[in-house]
């Protein structure tokens, strides 16, 4: 058990590093990011609807560079109508907002839980337990 | 003077793995930040880390499973239920993620026709996981605080001679 845990730990760590490196190597280059930005601007002129067709983007298919033609824009509720950009899966620092929002949500849940537990404990202290669990 | 009550190294490893998993999860919830490639590969790695995490806590899982309907505290029961839900939600995210994968799966030569049902489930499970994870962290808050405090107390003790360190006691529960 101990050994297998250790082996798995090493495997998981290795996979994590490999995955991150691979992900980084797959992520778009600066020039692709600039190009993506150009697509965003393009979006304001109504070019996005055409891109909803999978693989129709002129850069071809199968690699990350062709991504602007796929992804969220294919969905009816996609945000493409707002002029593009949001449905884009190119890495963007604006995505930090999502991390912040998630952190806020988790923080709020922890705070509410703490509050409820504290109130519960106060109630318990007021009326001594009439048997049952600890 | 100080006696180590818990196998500190193991606890530290647990804390580090949990911290790394939490960070990876945060990044996973923001594919707009990382881009899709990192999103997919990192999340798949997170799945592997999750299995390790489960194995590290395997004794707890077996013990509480045995006592679940017998004499277990309500906290332990709630904890168990929550962890099971967390596992189900996580598994759902990973499976649905694989079903909608646009980088990882095509990379190994598999491509599945896109079905928005999986995407809907992917989002739903992701949202549910945030809530369950919040509760999970809340339930383990004292462990988290105590272990972190002990870790820092040890490293400051090691680093300097400033003797004013207070080892955290495990009874100190914050929640
Ligand atoms: C902890 C694990 C994961 C979390 C928290 C997570 C969360 C998310 C979120 C929040 C989105 C954005 C949904 C939207 O706004 O439309 C998303 C999209 C996506 N995820 Fe994941 N995900 C995880 C794992 C995975 C895995 C393992 C894969 C594939 C191997 C994957 C593939 C995708 C894809 C392809 C999209 C884009 C869907 C689209 O085109 O709209 N995810 N994920």
> Please, what is the Cα angle at B53 between B32 and B151, to 5 degrees?
90
Q: What is the per-residue pLDDT across B116-170, written as a single tens digit (0 to 9) for each? A: 899 999 999 999 999 999 999 998 888 899 888 888 877 777 666 554 443 333 3
Q: Which of B74, B130, B139 sits opposite A133 (nearest CB)?
A: B74
> Please, what is the Cα angle at A102 between A95 and A77, to 5 degrees?
60
Q: Of B119, B137, B104, nearest to B38 (Cα)?
A: B104
- CA B49 to CA A9: how far, in whole Å? 8
Shortest Cα–Cα distance, B39 to chain A (Å):
8
**Does pTM surpass 0.95?**
no
- CA A99 to CA A48: how far, in whole Å? 27
Q: Which residues of A touch B174 (CB under 8 A)?
A: 114
Q: What is the per-residue pLDDT across A30-87, written as a single tens digit (0 to 9) for each? A: 556 566 666 666 554 444 444 444 544 444 444 444 444 444 444 444 443 333 334 5
- Both tokens of B72, joined, read 């277990």
Q: For residue A33, what are the contacts with CB-CB under 8 A and spacing of at least 6?
A: A90, A91
Q: Of B141, B153, B132, nearest to B8 (Cα)?
A: B153
Where do the domains of chain B lie? 11-150
Shortest Cα–Cα distance, B72 to chain A (Å):
8
């Amino acid at each position: 058990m101990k050994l297998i845990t250790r082996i798995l730990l090493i495997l998981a760590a290795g996979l994590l590093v490999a995955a991150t490196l691979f992900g980084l190597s797959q992520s778009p280059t600066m020039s692709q990011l600039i190009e993506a930005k150009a697509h965003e601007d393009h979006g304001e002129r109504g070019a996005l609807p055409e891109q909803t067709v999978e693989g129709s983007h002129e850069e071809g298919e199968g690699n990350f560079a062709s991504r602007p033609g796929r992804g969220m824009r294919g969905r009816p509720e996609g945000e493409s109508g707002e002029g593009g950009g949001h449905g884009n899966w190119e890495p963007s620092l604006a995505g930090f907002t999502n991390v912040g929002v998630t952190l806020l949500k988790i923080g709020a849940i922890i705070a509410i839980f703490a509050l409820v537990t504290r109130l519960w404990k106060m109630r318990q202290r007021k009326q001594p337990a009439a048997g049952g669990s600890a | 003077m100080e006696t180590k009550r818990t196998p500190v190294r193991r606890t530290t490893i647990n804390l580090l793995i949990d911290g790394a998993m939490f960070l990876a999860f945060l990044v996973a919830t923001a594919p707009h930040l990382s881009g899709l490639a990192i999103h997919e590969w990192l999340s798949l790695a997170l799945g592997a880390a999750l299995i390790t995490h489960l194995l590290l806590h395997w004794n707890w899982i077996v013990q509480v499973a045995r006592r679940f309907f017998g004499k277990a505290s309500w906290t332990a029961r709630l904890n168990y239920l929550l962890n099971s839900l967390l596992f189900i939600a996580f598994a759902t995210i990973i499976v649905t993620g694989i079903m909608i994968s646009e980088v990882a799966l095509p990379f190994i030569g598999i491509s599945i026709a896109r079905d928005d049902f999986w995407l809907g489930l992917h989002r739903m499970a992701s949202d549910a996981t945030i809530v369950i994870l919040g509760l999970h962290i809340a339930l383990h808050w004292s462990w988290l605080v105590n272990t972190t405090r002990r870790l820092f107390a040890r490293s400051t003790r090691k680093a300097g001679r400033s003797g004013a360190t207070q080892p955290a006691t495990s009874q100190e529960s914050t929640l």
